[in-house]
Chain A
C-alpha cells in the first residue's frame, strides 16, 4: 500500500463494463507522479489516502469482477506534506 494525495476527480463517460459506474480520482505520489485510482470510499480533493495496487485492488473495490489495478483503501485522518514528500 502507498500513501497518495487526491488531486482531482476524473470523468470518463465512455468506459468498459468492468469499471461499472465507480468513481475515479487522479492521485499523486510523493514525487508528483499522477495515476488514476478507483474510489469506493468517497475521498475529496486534497485528502491523503492509502492506495492498494495490483490484483488486491480488485478485492479492495468490493468485487473481484471490477477491472481496476489501483484502489483507494482509506482516507488518512492525520498526515502532513512534510511527512510525505520524497
Chain B
C-alpha cells in the first residue's frame, strides 16, 4: 500500500456506468509530485494522509470484484509525522531525517 495525501474531490459527471457509488479524489503520493485519482469508499477530507491499494485488491476494496478501480483508498492514517512533504521536498526530507 502506498501513502498519499488527499488534495480534493474530482467531479466527472459523464463516466462509465459501473464507476458509480463512490467519490473520486485527486491524491498526491508521498515524496512525489505526481497526482493520481483514487476511489474513496472511506470518506476522506482534503489534507488527510491515507493509504491506498492497487492491483486486484483495489476492485474488492471498492466494494465488489466488478468495480473498475486500480487505486482505492483503504484507510485514513491517524497520525503521520510529515506535515507538508509535497510543497517542498527538500525541507521535508530534512525534517523526516531529524525526527
Contact = CB atoms under 8 A, between A and B. Distances in A.
Interface of A: 10-16, 18-19, 24, 26, 33-38, 53-55, 57-58, 65-70
Given A10-B51, A16-B41, A16-B42, A57 B78 contact: no
A12 B78 contact: yes
The 10 closest A-B pairs by CB, nearest first: A12-B75, A15-B75, A67-B61, A36-B1, A69-B55, A11-B78, A67-B57, A14-B76, A55-B56, A69-B53
A35 B74 contact: no
Given A35-B1, A67-B72, A58 B57 contact: yes
Interface string B25-36: 000001100000
A12 B51 contact: yes
Contacts of A65: 60
A38 B72 CA distance: 15
Contacts of B43: 14
Given A34-B3, A35-B2, A36-B2, A11 B77 contact: yes
A34 B75 contact: no
Contacts of B79: 11
